[in-house]
Amino acid sequence: MSRSNRRLLLVVVISGSALGFVLYTHLRAFKPFLPGIRAVVGSIPEQELDLAEPQRRALLTLVAAKDKDAQSTIDWQVARALLNTVPHPRTGLKWQLDWLLWGLEIRGHFSREQRLGLYCHLMQFSGGQGLSYGSQALFNEQPNQLTDLEVAEIVAIQFWGWRYYERHPERLVPDAKQLLQAKMQLQTK
C-alpha cells in the first residue's frame, strides 16, 4: 500500500471514528428528552392523530409537492418544533447538528403515523398550535372537514410561516394554489 493510500485510510478511519463519536454522544444527549416526546405523542388530540384519508393524502402530497420527500420534511419540521420547546441554544452549528440528528432519532423511535400526528400537533399558528387549532381559527371547521385548498393554505403557513402571512395576507391563497398546482403535476408524473 502506498504512502498516500495509507494517509487516506487513516483519514477515513479518523473521520469515521469522529462521526461515530458525535453520533454516540448525540444519542446519549437525545435519550433524556425521549420520555417528554413520548408524553407529547400521548397527548395528541384524536382529530390530529386520526385524519381522514382524503386530508391525510392531501397533506402528504402537498408537503411532497413542496419538498419531494414528504416524510423527511415532516421529520425535520417535527425535530425543529421539538427543539424549540426544550432549553437549547438556538444558534450555531450545535443547533443545526441537533436538528438534523433529532430528525433521524424521531424517525427511529416513532412510527410514520406518530410522526404525522406530531407534525399536525406541533403546527404553529398565530395564537396557538396544532392542526385542530388552525382549522378552527382559519376556517371554523374540524381537520377532517377541510378541503384541498384549505389544507394547502395550512401547509403554506407551515412552510413560509404565519408571521409572513400576517404581514402579507393577500399571498396566502395564491401560494396555496401554487402548492395545489405542484401537487397536480406531481400526481400526473
Q: Which residue has the cell 391525510?
A: 56
Query: Which one has a higher pLDDT value, 115 or 187?
Result: 115
Residues 74-116: pLDDT tens digits?
Answer: 888 888 888 877 776 666 777 777 788 888 888 888 888 888 8
Q: What are phi and psi of 129, to 5 degrees?
A: -140, 155
User: Contact at 8 Å (CB) between 151 and 62?
Assistant: yes
Rounded distance between C-alpha atoms, residue 13 and residue 9, angstroms? 6
Q: How far apart are the first and last CA of the chain?
A: 49
User: Contact at 8 Å (CB) between 130 and 121?
Assistant: yes
CATH no. of 3-188: 1.10.3810.10
The whole-chain average pLDDT of the chain stands at 78
Q: What pLDDT, on the 0 to 100 scale, is given for residue 136?
A: 92
Q: Give residue limits of the domains in the chain.
A: 3-188
Residues 36-53: pLDDT tens digits?
Answer: 888 888 888 887 877 788
pTM given for the model:
0.76
